Amino acid sequence: MKLLVKGKIYTNKGLLDGSILVQDGRIIRVAKNIREPVDKLLDYSGGRRIVLPGLIDLHVHMRDFELSYKEDFFTGTGAAAMGGFTVVADMPNTRPRVNRPDVLKKREKVAKEKALVDYAFYYGVPDREADLVGGIEDLAMGFKIFMQHEFYTDKRRLTEKVLEFASKREMLVVVHAENPKFFVETEMGLSGLPQAEASAIKDIAKLALSYGFPLHVTHISSAAGMRELLRWRGRVGITVDTCPYYLLLNAKEALTKGAVAKVYPSIKSSKDAEILLRRLKEGKIDAIVSDHAPHPPEEKSDPRSASAGFPGLETTLTLLLTLVNNGVLELRDVVRICATNPAKILKLNEIGSIDKGKIGNFTVVDLHRRATINPKAFVSRGKCSPFEGKKVEGMPVATIVRGEPVMLDGELVATAGWGKNVKTYR
């Protein structure tokens, strides 16, 4: 199977007016002119479309298993393809949880049958030490630790076992860093103060220093948390991501939007948003994730009791491209935070850039296509967003995974089961 993609190509040396030849899922040539018979041609030359390296989302909840009424691998990876993401990394807070070898295997089976784009797994803190066994690394990229439930509780001992296990194998440890000591009751239910984040980051960074595991702090939401993280960086390797809403919304706006904008960690002040955006531009925040966390409408009505989180796969890239059009970010920032750095964090050398020998994952964007965010039209089962009604400029127009178009012009064109575990890249 040979695919030729023509157009403005985002390479490490800048934009190239040329072509990419993909054979059996791998890039075999990137050049100005490629004349060769192929099975499929995607021609994006002329106009304002740009072929980017396939985007990677390090933090999504595909739900499935017993929570498939919220989302499953088909709708979740469909949402990913619609939003321009070629790889998604799935969190283990499912029902049952992905914290036993047999459940991890079952997860692989379900994903393999339904996924449209490629996927990675994180393993959760197990309930028994016996579930921390060799073989986890054959399917999972790392571990996820939800500190308020698994570190500041009686699960701490098992969590430390995970840290030890991850250190030996140099497996990534992703943390939701909030210390419940700094939780307060609000109109949106229990919510962490900025100190909750700073305190948890300090506690986990100390352990990263003594154990040696690669630490990644996900969805940072506060300037205080970021300050603490930067204090540790240098002494210990830490990477960090945030989500678009921590940059674009503030607590006051979230409160007026109500349950739809309820998310953990909570959305902080406009000052926090401003500082996080500055750190992102400075390159101190490594990645942007969607934290795609769909829930049905009945769980998103009363702010106090609502489930936290909302879908993000179909809004993240378009929001970032809008920031590019507003002069806040540059296109190269978007590639760095959504492709290059996420690939590095996952230690996946096969993706993250358009080069000979890499996997043929691409996200084609139309930098100036305009739209209004409309959650009713999401492919995701979670049909809500705090960005509903927002005018955006810049949209994904094609998502290509291992040389196969998965989304073309807003239509899903691949069949369920095309997606593969990124572990198969090797």
Among 145, 171, 308, 400, binds ligand NCD (CB under 6 A): 308
Nearest distance from C-beta of residue 176 to ligand NCD, angstroms: 5
Q: Which of residues 123-182 bind ligand NCD (CB under 6 A)?
A: 176
In this structure, are residues 117 and 154 in contact, taking their beta carbons and an 8 Å threshold? no
Nearer to ligand NCD, 159 or 340 (CB): 159
Take residue 193 and report the two structure tokens written for it.
Answer: 């103060």
Nearer to ligand NCD, 308 or 345 (CB): 308
Total residues contacting ligand NCD by CB under 6 A comes to 9
Nearer to ligand NCD, 307 or 341 (CB): 307
Q: Which of residues 236-255 bind ligand NCD (CB under 6 A)?
A: none
Nearer to ligand NCD, 21 or 141 (CB): 141
Residue 336: contacted member of Zn ion, ligand NCD, none (CB under 5 to 8 Å, by partner type): none
Q: Is 263 in the site for ligand NCD (CB under 6 A)?
A: yes
* Phi, psi at 21, each rounded to 5°: -105, 125
Considering the candidates 131, 241, 272, 291, report the single residue annotated as catalytic.
Answer: 291
Amino acid at 143: F
Nearer to Zn ion, 29 or 149 (CB): 149
- Convert 358-385 into a string of H (helix), E (strand) and C (coil): CECCEEEEEEEEEEECCHHHCCCCCCCC
Among 176, 257, 300, 358, binds Zn ion (CB under 5 A): 176
Burial of 123 (0-12, 13-18, 19+ CB in 10 A): buried
DSSP per-residue string spanning 11-33: ETTEEEEEEEEEETTEEEEEES-
Q: How far apart are CA 328 and CA 320, in angstroms?
A: 9
* Phi, psi at 164, each rounded to 5°: -65, -45
Q: Is 262 in the site for Zn ion (CB under 5 A)?
A: no
Residue 272 a catalytic site member = no
Q: Is 314 in the site for ligand NCD (CB under 6 A)?
A: no
In this structure, are residues 378 and 311 in contact, taking their beta carbons and an 8 Å threshold? yes
The catalytic site residues sit at 291
Q: Which spans of this chain sit near ligand NCD (rule: CB under 6 A)?
A: 61, 93, 176, 263-264, 291, 293, 308-309
